[in-house]
Amino acid sequence: MIASLKSIPRPVIRRFHEYLACLERIRMRGRRWINSRELADVIGMTRSTVRQDVSYLDFSATGRNGYEIEMMEYVITRTLRLEVPAIAVIGGGGELARVLALNSGRRFRAFEIAGIFDWRSSLVGTRVGKWVVRDSECMPKIVRSRKVEIGIVASNAEAAQTMANLLVSAGVRGVLNFSPTPVAVPPGISFLDASMVPALLELVHEVRAGTRKKKASVELGARQ
Amino acid sequence: MIASLKSIPRPVIRRFHEYLACLERIRMRGRRWINSRELADVIGMTRSTVRQDVSYLDFSATGRNGYEIEMMEYVITRTLRLEVPAIAVIGGGGELARVLALNSGRRFRAFEIAGIFDWRSSLVGTRVGKWVVRDSECMPKIVRSRKVEIGIVASNAEAAQTMANLLVSAGVRGVLNFSPTPVAVPPGISFLDASMVPALLELVHEVRAGTRKKKASVELGARQ
DNA sequence: TAGATTGTTAATCGATTAACAATC
DNA sequence: TAGATTGTTAATCGATTAACAATC
């Protein structure tokens, strides 16, 4: 089966990131092989799920040794299309932008921030790590010249929708919302809401309702 | 049917937040009623889904007017157990903590930050908004005396697992991870990973693979 | 009333798990 | 070989959508 022809379900994509983190950690300890049982334990699913997930990759286990760690990392990275770092711009030059910019690119060298933009003249020209906040007016030009794919909404609630609109009209193909308010994007543009508010609300409900199912996952030790 | 006896599926809980945001916005415009079609459009699902979701609430529509906005907001808030604000502490006193602290409590007055903690003596004593960063040693005492429910991991990658361990041993019942690395919690503790890294990776894949369906939703990496 | 919209049951769709022959 | 682990097909489980009688 030519794995790349099947479109990969969202839950599988998400688990690929967990596999990557786990594989990297185990490789650092000098291991070369891993089997489906170990991976299943780490992500808190069954062996079947792991093997099902692997079937989406152009990749096979080597006999009863299980999966070759380095090879699996490579194939997952390629399948996630992360071989070439993604180019992103940040809309909003405040605290949130600072956190995003300073944390980007650490993991897998997966992102490159092509610019940070804001309308507020008090922020334009200030430094955020190695970037200088630029006027939002310049955004379309940069998005075109640097072939920016992703726009990150990192402004306050009031400016969030305006910023999302600007990012889209500047030409990004996907929008990631970190602002504390929901934003809308036109059809054809990928969108993901990663604001912290829904996460907190969800956790509060779970804690208070006491509706936990299985076990917590077994991810031990700090990484990196 | 006594709605409160059924345990509510995770996707429904997540949509309740979207409904709340939408209802609040529409109420502000002076509207009093809303029907399933409008709600379905906003969240990008069918009318059936909306009506199915409503069936988890102790709440009914009033004839062909649809749902009474203010009442629906109240019932959702109660069902999510958000009538009383959740008490949380933040583990880590850097930039990320600042963003979290400054944004908390805005929306629905749902959270209260009982303290911000760090080990680094350079940070202990500094101000973050209206809070003063305290030494991590004091955390267990505060968690007990203020009945803290949620611990937020907002430290850097290196300290993340240690901080998660401290939060759990201090007595929080749920852990929310915002650090750039995966952390593990023992069974019995609710856990949610809201780090920005998986979200970005997921969006990059979607943009590059060109496999979009309708509207993408708020999907966070959750492990029970 | 007539029309529109609901609540609820049944059908569909998709993802996870179980089972097992094939493989090293 | 014997044992362990895979890849894959089938069964199960859960969530979304369709259908329609009941309701205002």
User: Does residue A153 sit in helix, strand or coil?
Assistant: strand
pLDDT at A210: 77
| CB–CB contact A100 B178 (8 Å) | no
pLDDT tens-digit series, residues B196-213: 778 888 899 999 987 654
| CB–CB contact A44 B224 (8 Å) | yes
Tokens of A208: 């208070």
pLDDT tens-digit series, residues B112-132: 899 999 999 999 999 998 899
The edge-to-edge listing of strands for the beta sheet with A190-193 is A134-135, A111-118, A86-91, A150-153, A174-177, A190-193
Looking at the predicted structure, is the pLDDT value of residue B42 above 80? yes
Q: Is A129 on the interface with B (CB under 8 A)?
A: no
- Taking residues B171-196, report their average pLDDT: 87
- Taking residues B4-27, report their average pLDDT: 87
pLDDT at B104: 64
Q: How far is the CA of B67 from the C1' of D24 (A)?
A: 13
Contacts of B19 in chain A (CB under 8 A): none
Q: How far is the CA of B10 from the C1' of D14 (A)?
A: 11
User: Does residue A72 sit in helix, strand or coil?
Assistant: helix
Vertex A139: Cα angle to A133 and A142 (nearest 5): 100
Share of chain B above pLDDT 90, in %: 58
Distance CA A200, CA B176 (A): 7
Which residues lie closer than 8 Å to A125 by C-beta, 6 or more apart?
A132, A133
Label the pairing between strands A131-132 and A127-128.
Answer: antiparallel
pLDDT at B96: 85
User: Is A118 in contact with A156 (CB distance < 8 Å)?
Assistant: no
Q: Does the reported pTM lie above 0.75?
A: yes
Q: Which residues pair with A88 in a beta bridge?
A: A113, A150
pLDDT at A46: 97
Q: Which of B24, B26, B103, B152 to mutate to test the interface with A (most CBs of A within 10 A)?
A: B103
User: Is A133 in contact with A93 (CB distance < 8 Å)?
Assistant: yes
Q: Is B147 on the interface with A (CB under 8 A)?
A: no
pLDDT (tens, 9 = 90+) of chain A, 224 residues, equals 444 456 899 899 999 988 998 999 999 999 999 999 999 998 989 999 999 999 999 998 887 789 999 999 999 999 999 889 899 999 999 888 888 887 765 555 678 899 999 999 999 999 998 899 999 999 999 999 999 999 999 998 889 999 999 999 999 999 999 888 888 888 789 888 888 778 888 899 989 987 654 333 333 222 22
Residues, CB < 7 Å to strand D: A 1, 35-37, 47-48, 51-52, 54-55, 60-61, 64, 66-67; B 9-12, 45-46, 48-49, 51-52, 62-64
pLDDT at B75: 96
Nearest-by-Cβ selection for B202 from A192, A222, A223 = A192
Window from A7-16, B36-45, B99-108, B189-198 with minimum mean pLDDT: B99-108
A-B contacts at Cβ under 8 angstroms: 227
Distance CA A37, CA A47 (A): 5
pLDDT at A222: 24
Q: Is A121 on the interface with B (CB under 8 A)?
A: no
pLDDT at A70: 96
Tokens of B136: 């991590």
pLDDT at A108: 53
pLDDT at A211: 62
pLDDT at A199: 84
pLDDT tens-digit series, residues B50-62: 999 999 999 988 8
Q: Is B189 on the interface with A (CB under 8 A)?
A: yes
